């Protein structure tokens, strides 16, 4: 079996070298060591837990109480909560970000090579407060957490175990701290390989600690010297470091305080190559399977998926740039030697508006959520849509689509909000399904549809007719303000329309504020410009905003003309009725006139009597002269 594993290891090294294009000469030289004993037979994460549990010793030692035990297989099943490798990396970044409260200024994420077998490992290094021996033991245990404040992201005491075991089979942690005037450094090993290879039926985590307060390393004993030596021997045998001096040397780049995490024996995908691709981009870490999928897309689809909403699925740099809602002041995420530039998507939206939502929660303090909505700068060419929902500054659901697929309304609208009133799931990639979550989903859908009705014309779509009618009901004709400039009344308040630098008259207005009932209606940008002016012909030099304003004016003028056309049609119908009545009366008068001509006695009447007679019969004064002439 060992020979088979050794051959498998060589094949994996060749695959890694050929597929990623590594320069083998740039790697550290492999030491002569039995590396085959330090790897699992199955290196695929989703298959690593497929083994039978052997006999378990349940009899407690003398004087030991019965207690629940954790089988090594649970480490793997617990890590399956992370369906996405980047979600696991985000957990480790969260731990470093939480250390900002303890003075952390950076976290480094990089690839390093194991000195044992040249395989790539994943490194995390921060300069936070570090962990003392007690903190190290809580970190390595299940369910223990030292984070009790409301401004920390971690809370369950499970993230470190699930995330590290999702990325690799083994992890070694180095941490240096100073508590109560005592400086310590600790080493802990959580090795799934060790537990599986040695047939353990309980999770054993060897740890050693040193007191460095006196400028030299002095072992800290919690049991006997033999126990401490046994832990050291186990760490050296199953870690990438094969001597005590090599272990101590790992603290040199930590500084006076901080934590260093090395995840090794990284998992492979179903094709037998590493899930994490370190060599496609020297300044990034990619997910190999996602990258391969994108390479098969058409050029048009690839252009669409160059948006960050797609890149964050396979690029750690893109994902980390959006991972936190607010920009750090004195903290940096350094990925492979280059700082990650934070991307605040709310600052990159066109025509942003803020919607206020007050969710119904059981907490004593009423929650108020501000949601920023707007069109992405690529709209309408790219139809990316969705809400980026954060919890305690951490991205939980990126580009969450609250409308169904194929729904044309809302295309290009992106929202950003921080929902601290809902608890996230354990993997921090979704929220727990609850009535509060369902109400939030419904509210976000309403916000998106209302924003679309009011702003869709700004990116070239035809305005919503219902909204235009509602707008006309709440707006009056332009008025003259006290300073002589044009103005108009919107919802009972005067809106000043003063000329801007380009000569166009733009309204001075604030942002739309929604509440839990109906939104406050105001004319969208450009609707309150001078509609009585002639729209100048556009040329190629005009700005997009100016063209949009002219387009809006034309839409509004079209509505006015349609109303005028209706009014004119009504007026024409009335006039035609009057003409018909007049013709009928003229015909009656002609018949009466002929009758009078046939009567000789009628013409013997004097003029005064003739006029009276004509008036009695409804004959106008205009016929008096004609009657006299006929006589």
Helix/strand/coil for 410: coil
CATH top-level class for 72-299?
alpha beta
pLDDT greater than 60 at residue 490 = no
Q: What is the dihedral angle through the alpha carbons of 599, 601, 603, 605, rounded to the nearest 10 degrees?
A: -140
Query: What pLDDT is recorded for position 500?
Result: 38
pLDDT greater than 90 at residue 489 = no
**Alpha carbon of residue 458 to chain centroid:** 23
113 contacts 99 by C-beta, under 8 angstroms: no
- Greater model confidence, 284 or 44: 284
- Greater model confidence, 297 or 269: 269
3-state SS of 96-144 is HHHHHHHCCCEEEEEEEECCCCCCEEEEEEECCCCCCHHHHHHHHCCCC
Query: What pLDDT is recorded for position 237?
Result: 95
Query: What pLDDT is recorded for position 2?
Result: 31
Task: Return d(Cα 151, Cα 451) in angstroms, integer.
Answer: 32
Task: Return d(Cα 263, Cα 112) in angstroms, integer.
Answer: 10
Q: Among the listed ranges 70-74, 247-251, 395-399, 541-545, which one has the minimum average pLDDT value?
A: 541-545
As a whole number of Å, the CA-based R_g of the chain is 40
The share of the chain scoring above pLDDT 70, in percent, equals 67
Average pLDDT over residues 214-239: 92
Sign of CA dihedral 231, 236, 239, 243: positive
Task: Return d(Cα 628, Cα 631) in angstroms, integer.
Answer: 5
88 contacts 162 by C-beta, under 8 angstroms: yes
Task: Classify residue 268 by its DSSP letter.
Answer: B
Q: What is the pLDDT of residues 93-123, one digit of tens each?
A: 999 999 999 999 999 999 999 888 889 999 9
pLDDT greater than 80 at residue 483 = no
Q: Among the listed ranges 176-190, 464-478, 567-581, 584-598, which one has the minimum average pLDDT value?
A: 464-478
Helix/strand/coil for 488: strand
Which of 286-290, 387-391, 575-579: highest mean pLDDT? 387-391
The share of the chain scoring above pLDDT 90, in percent, equals 42
Q: What does the angle CA 114 – CA 117 – CA 121 come to, to the nearest 5 degrees?
A: 30
Query: What pLDDT is recorded for position 615?
Result: 66
Q: Which helix (H) or strand (E) holds 262?
A: strand 258-266
3-state SS of 316-364 is HHHHHHHCECCCCCCCEEEECCEECCCCCHHHHEEEEEEEEECCCCCCC
- Greater model confidence, 93 or 597: 93
Task: Return d(Cα 391, Cα 326) in angstroms, integer.
Answer: 12
Query: What pLDDT is recorded for position 28?
Result: 52
163 contacts 301 by C-beta, under 8 angstroms: no
Cis, bond preceding 286 (omega within 30 deg of 0): no
Q: What does the angle CA 566 – CA 568 – CA 574 come to, to the nearest 5 degrees?
A: 110
Q: Which two tokens stand for residue 100?
A: 């900002």
Query: What pLDDT is recorded for position 256?
Result: 93
| Average pLDDT over the chain, rounded to an integer | 77
The pLDDT confidence band at residue 305, using thresholds 50, 70 and 90, is confident
Average pLDDT over residues 359-377: 85
pLDDT greater than 90 at residue 334 = yes
- Greater model confidence, 150 or 276: 276
The pLDDT confidence band at residue 619, using thresholds 50, 70 and 90, is low
pLDDT greater than 80 at residue 26 = no
Where are the chain's structural domains? 72-299, 344-459, 551-617
The pLDDT confidence band at residue 25, using thresholds 50, 70 and 90, is very low
The residues, ordered by sequence, that sit 6+ positions from 585 with a Cβ below 8 Å of its Cβ are none
> Per DSSP, what are the bridge partners of residue 376?
349
Is residue 20 classed exposed, middle or buried when 0-12, 13-18 and 19+ CB atoms within 10 A define those classes? middle
Average pLDDT over residues 537-555: 61
Average pLDDT over residues 299-304: 61
Of 409, 343, 407, 404, give the one whose Cα is nearest residue 375. 409
Task: Return d(Cα 261, Cα 259) in angstroms, integer.
Answer: 7
The pLDDT confidence band at residue 65, using thresholds 50, 70 and 90, is low
pLDDT greater than 80 at residue 396 = yes
Backbone angles phi, psi at 353, to 5 degrees: -135, 155
Domains 72-299 and 344-459 share a fold: no
Q: Among the listed ranges 128-137, 223-232, 503-512, 599-608, which one has the minimum average pLDDT value?
A: 503-512
Query: What pLDDT is recorded for position 517?
Result: 43
Query: What pLDDT is recorded for position 170?
Result: 95
The residues, ordered by sequence, that sit 6+ positions from 227 with a Cβ below 8 Å of its Cβ are 221
Task: Classify residue 36 by its DSSP letter.
Answer: G
Which of 6-15, 337-346, 417-426, 533-542: highest mean pLDDT? 337-346
Q: Which two tokens stand for residue 422?
A: 């809902």
Which of 17-21, 275-279, 482-486: highest mean pLDDT? 275-279
Q: What is the dihedral angle through the alpha carbons of 568, 570, 576, 579, rounded to the nearest 10 degrees?
A: -90
The pLDDT confidence band at residue 296, using thresholds 50, 70 and 90, is low
Which of 210-214, 377-381, 472-476: highest mean pLDDT? 210-214
The topology (CATH level 3) of 344-459 is Ribosomal Protein S5; domain 2 (3.30.230)
pLDDT greater than 50 at residue 467 = yes
């Amino acid at each position: 079996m060992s020979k088979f594993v050794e051959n498998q290891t060589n094949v994996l090294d060749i695959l890694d070298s050929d597929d990623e294009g590594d320069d083998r000469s740039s790697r550290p030289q492999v030491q002569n060591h039995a590396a085959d004993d330090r790897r699992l037979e199955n290196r695929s994460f989703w298959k690593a837990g497929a083994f039978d549990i052997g006999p378990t010793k349940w009899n407690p030692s003398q004087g030991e109480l019965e207690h629940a035990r954790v089988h090594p297989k649970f480490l793997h099943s617990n890590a399956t909560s992370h369906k996405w490798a980047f979600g696991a990396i985000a957990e480790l970044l969260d731990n470093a970000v939480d250390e900002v409260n303890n003075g952390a200024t950076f976290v480094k994420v990089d690839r390093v090579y194991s000195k044992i077998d040249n395989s790539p490992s994943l490194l995390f290094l921060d300069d936070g407060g570090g962990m003392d021996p007690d903190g190290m033991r809580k970190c390595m245990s299940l369910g223990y957490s030292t984070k009790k404040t409301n401004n920390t992201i971690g809370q369950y005491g499970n993230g470190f175990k699930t995330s590290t075991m999702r990325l690799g089979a083994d992890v070694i942690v180095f941490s240096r701290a100073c508590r109560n005037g005592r400086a310590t450094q600790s080493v802990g090993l959580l090795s799934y390989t060790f537990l599986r290879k040695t047939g353990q039926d309980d999770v054993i985590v060897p740890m050693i600690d040193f007191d460095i307060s006196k400028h030299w390393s002095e072992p800290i004993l919690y049991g006997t010297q033999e126990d401490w030596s046994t832990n050291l021997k186990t760490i050296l045998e199953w870690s990438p470091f094969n001597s005590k001096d090599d272990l101590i040397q790992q603290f040199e780049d930590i500084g006076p305080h901080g934590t260093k995490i090395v995840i090794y024996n990284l998992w492979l995908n179903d094709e037998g190559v590493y899930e994490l691709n370190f060599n496609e981009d020297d300044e990034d870490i990619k997910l190999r399977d996602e990258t391969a999928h994108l390479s098969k897309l058409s050029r048009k689809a690839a252009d669409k998926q160059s948006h960050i909403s797609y890149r964050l699925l396979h690029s750690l740099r893109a994902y980390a740039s959006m991972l936190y809602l607010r920009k750090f002041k004195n903290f940096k995420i350094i990925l492979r030697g280059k700082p990650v530039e934070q991307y605040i998507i709310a600052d990159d939206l066109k025509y942003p508006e803020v919607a206020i939502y007050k969710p119904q929660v059981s907490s004593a303090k009423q929650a108020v959520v501000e949601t920023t909505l707007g069109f992405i700068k690529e709209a309408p060419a790219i139809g990316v849509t969705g809400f980026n929902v954060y919890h305690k500054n951490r991205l939980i659901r990126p580009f969450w689509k609250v409308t169904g697929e194929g729904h044309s309304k809302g295309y290009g609208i992106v929202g950003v909000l921080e929902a601290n009133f809902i608890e996230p799931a354990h993997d921090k990639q979704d929220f727990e399904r609850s009535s509060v979550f369902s109400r939030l989903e419904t509210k976000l859908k309403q916000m998106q549809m209302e924003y679309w009705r009011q702003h869709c014309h700004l990116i070239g779509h035809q305005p919503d007719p219902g909204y235009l009618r509602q707008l006309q009901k709440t707006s009056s004709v332009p008025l003259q303000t006290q300073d002589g400039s044009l103005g108009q009344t919107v919802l009972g308040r005067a809106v000043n329309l003063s000329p801007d630098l380009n000569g166009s008259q733009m309204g001075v207005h604030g942002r739309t504020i929604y509440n839990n009932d109906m939104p406050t209606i105001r004319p969208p940008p450009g609707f309150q410009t001078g509609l009585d002016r002639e729209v100048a012909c556009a040329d190629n030099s005009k700005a997009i905003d100016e063209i949009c304003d002219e387009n809006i004016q034309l839409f509004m003028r079209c509505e006015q003309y349609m109303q005028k056309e209706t009014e004119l049609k009504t007026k024409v119908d009335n006039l035609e009725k009057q003409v018909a009545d007049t013709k009928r009366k003229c015909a009656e008068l002609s018949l009466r006139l002929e009758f009078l001509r046939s009567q000789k006695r009628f013409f013997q009447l004097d003029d005064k009597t003739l006029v009276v007679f004509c008036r009695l019969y409804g004959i106008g004064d205009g016929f008096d002269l004609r009657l006299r002439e006929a006589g």
